[in-house]
A and B are shown apart, each in its own frame.
Chain A
Amino acid sequence: MSALLEVSGLAVAFGDLRAVRGVSLTVEKGRTLAVVGESGSGKSVTSLAVLGLLPPQARVVEGSVTFDGVNLLDLGDDGLRRLRGEELAMIFQDPLSALNPSLTVGYQIAEMFRRRRGMSRGAANERAVEAMAEVGIPDAARRAGSHPHEFSGGMRQRVVIAMALALEPRLLIADEPTTALDVTVQAQILRLLRERQRAGLGMIIISHDLGVVARTAQTVVVMYAGRAVESGTVAEVYSAPAHPYTLGLLAASPSARAGRREIRPIDGNPPDLASLPSGCAFHPRCPFARQRCRTETPPLRRLPSGRASACHFAEEVLSRAGTVQHAGA
Chain B
Amino acid sequence: MPEPSNTPVLELVDLVAGYRTRHGLLGRRGEVRAVAGVNLAVGAGETVCLVGESGCGKSTVARAVVNLLTPISGEVRFAGRSLADLDRRELRAMRRDVQLIFQDPYASLNPRMTVRELISEAWRIHPGIVARERWDAEVGELLERVGLNPAHAARYPHQFSGGQRQRICIARALSVRPRLIVCDEAVSALDVSIQAQILALLGRLRDELGVAYLFITHDLGVVRHFADRVAVMHLGTIVESGDTEQIYSAPAHPYTQALLSAAPSVDDWRDRGGEEIVLSGDAPSPLRPPTGCRFHTRCWKAQDRCRGDEPALVHRGTDHPVACHYASTETGLENADVVR
Contact assessment for B224 and A260 in the assembled complex, using a CB-CB cutoff below 8 Å: yes
Q: Which of A18-26, A52-60, A84-92, A178-186 contacts B (4 or more CB under 8 A)?
A: A178-186
Chain B residue at minimal CB-CB distance from A217: B269
In whole Å, how far is A127's beta carbon from the nearest beta carbon of chain B? Answer: 24
Chain B residue at minimal CB-CB distance from A41: B191
Bound together, the chains give a CA A190 to CA B278 distance in angstroms of 10
Q: Considering the complex, which residues of chain A in the window 270-296 have a beta carbon less than 8 Å from any beta carbon of chain B? A: 270
Q: Does B200 contact A (CB under 8 A)?
A: yes
Size of B's binding interface in residues, CB under 8 A: 45
Contacting B283 at CB < 8 Å: which of A182, A215, A269? Answer: A182
Can you list, as one digit per residue, whether each of B259-298 has a CB less than 8 Å from chain A (1) or not (0)? Answer: 1111111111100100010111111000000000000000
The answer to whether residues A183 and B194 also contact, given A215-B272, A238-B266, A258-B267 and a CB cut-off of 8 A, is no
Q: Does B222 contact A (CB under 8 A)?
A: yes
A183 surroundings in chain B (CB, below 8 A): 53, 218, 220, 259, 262-264
A311 surroundings in chain B (CB, below 8 A): none
B262 surroundings in chain A (CB, below 8 A): 183-184, 186-187
Contact assessment for A252 and B196 in the assembled complex, using a CB-CB cutoff below 8 Å: yes
Chain B residue at minimal CB-CB distance from A238: B269
Contact assessment for A214 and B268 in the assembled complex, using a CB-CB cutoff below 8 Å: yes
B224 surroundings in chain A (CB, below 8 A): 254-256, 260
Bound together, the chains give a CA A211 to CA B279 distance in angstroms of 19
Q: Does A329 contact B (CB under 8 A)?
A: no
The contact sample of 11 A-B pairs, CB cut-off 8 A, is A155-B282, A183-B262, A183-B264, A184-B283, A211-B264, A211-B266, A252-B193, A252-B196, A257-B265, A265-B197, A269-B163
In whole Å, how far is A114's beta carbon from the nearest beta carbon of chain B? Answer: 30
B264 surroundings in chain A (CB, below 8 A): 183, 186, 190, 209, 211-212, 214-215
**B: which residues have CB within 8 A of A?**
53-54, 161, 163-164, 191-197, 199-200, 218-226, 245, 248, 258-269, 272, 276, 278-283
Contact assessment for B282 and A256 in the assembled complex, using a CB-CB cutoff below 8 Å: no
Chain A residue at minimal CB-CB distance from B191: A38
A251 surroundings in chain B (CB, below 8 A): 196
Q: Does A69 contact B (CB under 8 A)?
A: no
Can you list, as one digit per residue, whether each of A15-45 has a CB less than 8 Å from chain B (1) or not (0)? Answer: 0000000000000000000000011000000
Can you list, as one digit per residue, whether each of A202-230 has a CB less than 8 Å from chain B (1) or not (0)? Answer: 00000011111011000000000000000
Which residue, of B192, B261, B263, B272, has the highest number of chain A Cβ atoms within 10 A? B192
Chain B residue at minimal CB-CB distance from A272: B161
Contact assessment for B53 and A210 in the assembled complex, using a CB-CB cutoff below 8 Å: no
A254 surroundings in chain B (CB, below 8 A): 195-196, 199, 219, 221-222, 224-226
Q: Does A80 contact B (CB under 8 A)?
A: no
Bound together, the chains give a CA A74 to CA B260 distance in angstroms of 47
Chain A residue at minimal CB-CB distance from B258: A184
Contact assessment for B194 and A269 in the assembled complex, using a CB-CB cutoff below 8 Å: yes
In whole Å, how far is A258's beta carbon from the nearest beta carbon of chain B? Answer: 5
Bound together, the chains give a CA A38 to CA B218 distance in angstroms of 20
Contact assessment for A188 and B278 in the assembled complex, using a CB-CB cutoff below 8 Å: yes
Contact assessment for A38 and B192 in the assembled complex, using a CB-CB cutoff below 8 Å: yes
Contacting A182 at CB < 8 Å: which of B54, B194, B268, B269? Answer: B54
Contact assessment for A264 and B196 in the assembled complex, using a CB-CB cutoff below 8 Å: yes
Chain B residue at minimal CB-CB distance from A188: B278
B276 surroundings in chain A (CB, below 8 A): 187, 191
- Ranked nearest first, the 4 interchain pairs of A and B with the lowest CB-CB distance are A211-B264, A254-B221, A265-B196, A187-B262
A263 surroundings in chain B (CB, below 8 A): 196, 199-200, 225
Q: Does A138 contact B (CB under 8 A)?
A: yes
B268 surroundings in chain A (CB, below 8 A): 211, 214-215, 257
In whole Å, how far is B156's beta carbon from the nearest beta carbon of chain A? Answer: 17
How many residues of A sit at the interface, in one of the four size bands? 35 or more
Contact assessment for A256 and B220 in the assembled complex, using a CB-CB cutoff below 8 Å: yes
Chain A residue at minimal CB-CB distance from B53: A182
**A: which residues have CB within 8 A of B?**
38-39, 138, 152, 154-155, 182-188, 190-191, 208-212, 214-215, 234-235, 238-239, 248-258, 260-267, 269-270, 326
The answer to whether residues A214 and B267 also contact, given A39-B191, A187-B276 and a CB cut-off of 8 A, is yes
Contacting B193 at CB < 8 Å: which of A138, A214, A235, A265? Answer: A265
Bound together, the chains give a CA A51 to CA B200 distance in angstroms of 40
Contact assessment for A250 and B266 in the assembled complex, using a CB-CB cutoff below 8 Å: yes
A248 surroundings in chain B (CB, below 8 A): 193
B269 surroundings in chain A (CB, below 8 A): 214, 234-235, 238-239
Bound together, the chains give a CA A256 to CA B53 distance in angstroms of 15
B194 surroundings in chain A (CB, below 8 A): 265, 269
Contact assessment for A266 and B266 in the assembled complex, using a CB-CB cutoff below 8 Å: no
In whole Å, how far is B59's beta carbon from the nearest beta carbon of chain A? Answer: 14
B199 surroundings in chain A (CB, below 8 A): 254, 263, 265
Bound together, the chains give a CA A187 to CA B279 distance in angstroms of 8
Chain B residue at minimal CB-CB distance from A285: B193
Contact assessment for B261 and A187 in the assembled complex, using a CB-CB cutoff below 8 Å: yes
B197 surroundings in chain A (CB, below 8 A): 265-267
Contact assessment for A188 and B200 in the assembled complex, using a CB-CB cutoff below 8 Å: no
Contact assessment for A256 and B164 in the assembled complex, using a CB-CB cutoff below 8 Å: no
In whole Å, how far is B186's beta carbon from the nearest beta carbon of chain A? Answer: 14
B263 surroundings in chain A (CB, below 8 A): 183, 211, 256-257
B195 surroundings in chain A (CB, below 8 A): 252, 254
Contacting B192 at CB < 8 Å: which of A138, A154, A210, A267? Answer: A210
In whole Å, how far is B244's beta carbon from the nearest beta carbon of chain A? Answer: 8
A238 surroundings in chain B (CB, below 8 A): 266, 269
Identify 11 new A-B residue pairs, CB closer than 8 A, beyond the known A155-B282, A209-B264.
A152-B283, A182-B218, A210-B192, A238-B269, A250-B266, A251-B196, A255-B225, A257-B263, A258-B265, A264-B200, A269-B163
Contact assessment for B192 and A253 in the assembled complex, using a CB-CB cutoff below 8 Å: yes
Contact assessment for A270 and B191 in the assembled complex, using a CB-CB cutoff below 8 Å: yes
